[in-house]
């Protein structure tokens, strides 16, 4: 008889519960009990303020997450059923379900119109959260710079009656995530109590080691290869990491700054090599990243001491022989950059012919790995453009190893 008087089970809760192991459900019960006690609710619910503090959320993004988690009831009471249902969808759901949840989360004004203003609010919260936890001292100026760059990568194609401004459609959102995957990673991790490393863990935010600098090591291709190889072998041994990804930075005499992320070591080849993790970018006068399109596999180029004119000595990225997306000759005093289908990239400098003024190569090291700390060399391009370095981490490098 007691059972007949019990309220009917919520089918969404029943379904969501099945996606967790018994241990995971017990952990959720313990988390709920702890937060409900802090909410002074006699163990019945979690308040918005306690919820936001626990999950490191604040402002419009925190309010919107709590609203979605409580099924929009506006009663300031997140129940255990709400917690299981939300986590079941947000963490255990299909990729489409998770993306749909994040898409709705971005609509911080809850008007079913995802505008540039909504995204800006979320990005400001995201960068403040990440760099505060990192203790990097990255100020608001640097954060605003990255917010603008992330926003400029977004497309707003959806029309609304009576509204002049277009909004972001779900397809626009998915395309944006492919360009700036760190946003999706950050938003997909918000419903996990943060550890000291933050929503993007310290193992996913990178440290950089200067392997070569033309002013310090001389403008020589052989010296470049020797330095990058020998220095990087030491780093790899210390880090137990055999990938050896590097970032090439070039500043030319026109003042343009550009380069590429090489996922594979710089080694002598007679043809293109590399994989789809590589990309090229421009940092100045405009910051843009260009990823592989899949049109071809002409990703990295590194040729040395070949006598055939069909195999130009030098190194670079994309395009085709003698018409690369980015190329430096073995003499290190000239190169070129053309638009290419490999990365759907434009010419990266003022003209297609480039005269390098500074050439740098940095090794990318996962944080938390054992390696010798190195202070950033004063006067390097990336020391002077710290916000660009942060942006490369956030947009591309932190996700290139996935």
Residue 327 token pair = 């190329």
Are residues 158 and 282 part of one domain? no
| Tens digit of each residue's pLDDT (9 = 90 or more) over 91-145 | 888 888 889 999 999 999 998 899 999 999 998 888 777 666 544 444 455 567 6
Question: Quick one: which of 355, 332, 114 has its CA closest to 256?
Answer: 355
287 within domain boundaries: yes
Residue 334 token pair = 């000239």
| Conformation bin of residue 324: beta by default, left when phi > 0, alpha when psi is -120 to 50 | beta
Are residues 75 and 101 part of one domain? yes
Task: Specify the length of the chain in residues.
Answer: 402
Are residues 322 and 271 part of one domain? yes
| Conformation bin of residue 255: beta by default, left when phi > 0, alpha when psi is -120 to 50 | left
Are residues 241 and 358 part of one domain? yes
What is the model's pTM? 0.58
Query: Is the pLDDT at 180 greater than 50, yes or no?
Result: yes
Mean pLDDT computed over 55-80: 90
- Of the segments 270-284, 310-324, 366-380, which one has the largest average pLDDT value? 310-324
- Position 183 scores a pLDDT of 81
Q: What is the three-state SS of 209-255? A: EEEEEHHHHCCCHHHHHHHHHHHHHHHHHHHCCCCCCEEEEEEECCC
Are residues 60 and 87 part of one domain? yes
Residue 104's CB is within 10 A of a number of other CB atoms, namely 15
Residue 355: how many CA atoms within 13 Å on its side-chain side? 2
Residue 221 token pair = 């291709």
- Position 377 scores a pLDDT of 55
Are residues 93 and 26 part of one domain? yes
166 within domain boundaries: yes
Are residues 115 and 35 part of one domain? yes
- Position 82 scores a pLDDT of 93
- The DSSP call for residue 103 is H
Task: Say how many domains are in the chain.
Answer: 2
Query: Is the pLDDT at 321 greater than 90, yes or no?
Result: yes
- Position 2 scores a pLDDT of 45
| Tens digit of each residue's pLDDT (9 = 90 or more) over 206-249 | 577 888 888 888 888 888 888 787 554 444 444 444 456 888 99
For residue 163, name the pLDDT band (cuts at 50, 70, 90): confident
Residue 59 token pair = 């402002």
Query: Is the pLDDT at 36 greater than 60, yes or no?
Result: yes
Query: Is the pLDDT at 75 greater than 90, yes or no?
Result: yes
CA distance 131 to 198: 9
Domain extent for 338: 207-367
- Position 401 scores a pLDDT of 42
Are residues 255 and 333 part of one domain? yes
Are residues 235 and 299 part of one domain? yes
């Amino acid at each position: 008889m007691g059972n007949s008087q019990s309220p009917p089970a919520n089918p969404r809760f029943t379904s969501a519960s099945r996606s967790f192991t018994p241990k995971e459900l017990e952990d959720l019960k313990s988390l709920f009990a702890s937060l409900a006690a802090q909410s002074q609710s006699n163990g019945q619910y979690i308040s918005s303020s306690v919820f936001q503090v626990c999950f490191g959320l604040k402002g419009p993004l925190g309010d919107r997450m709590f609203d979605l988690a409580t099924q929009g009831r506006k009663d300031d009471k997140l129940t255990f059923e709400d917690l299981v249902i939300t986590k079941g969808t947000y963490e255990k759901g299909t990729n489409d379900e998770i993306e749909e949840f994040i898409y709705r989360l971005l609509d911080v004004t809850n008007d079913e119109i995802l505008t540039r203003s909504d995204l800006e609010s979320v990005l400001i919260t995201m960068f403040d959260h990440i760099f505060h936890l990192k203790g990097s001292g990255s100020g608001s100026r640097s954060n605003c710079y990255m917010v603008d760059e992330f926003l400029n990568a977004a497309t707003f194609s959806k029309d609304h009656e009576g509204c002049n401004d277009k909004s972001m459609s779900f397809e626009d959102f998915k395309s944006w995530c492919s360009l700036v995957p760190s946003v999706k990673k950050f938003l997909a991790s918000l419903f996990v109590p943060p550890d000291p490393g933050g929503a993007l863990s310290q193992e996913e935010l990178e440290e950089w080691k200067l392997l070569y600098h033309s002013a310090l090591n001389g403008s020589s291709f052989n010296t470049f290869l020797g330095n990058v190889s020998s220095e990087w072998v030491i780093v790899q041994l210390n880090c137990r990491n055999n990938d050896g990804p590097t970032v090439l930075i070039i500043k030319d005499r026109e003042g343009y700054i550009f380069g590429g992320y090489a996922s594979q070591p710089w080694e002598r080849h007679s043809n293109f090599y590399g994989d789809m993790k590589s990309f090229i970018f421009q940092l100045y006068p405009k910051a843009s990243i260009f990823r592989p399109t899949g049109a071809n596999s002409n990703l990295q180029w590194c040729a040395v001491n070949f006598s055939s004119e069909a195999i130009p000595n030098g190194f670079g990225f994309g395009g085709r022989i003698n018409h690369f997306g980015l190329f430096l000759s073995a003499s290190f005093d000239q190169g070129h950059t053309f638009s290419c289908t490999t990365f759907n990239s434009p010419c990266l400098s003022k003209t297609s012919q480039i005269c390098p003024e500074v050439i740098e190569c940095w090794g990318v090291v996962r944080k938390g790995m054992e390696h010798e700390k190195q202070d950033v060399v004063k006067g390097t391009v990336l020391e002077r453009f710290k916000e660009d370095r942060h942006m490369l981490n956030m947009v591309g490098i932190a996700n290139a190893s996935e």
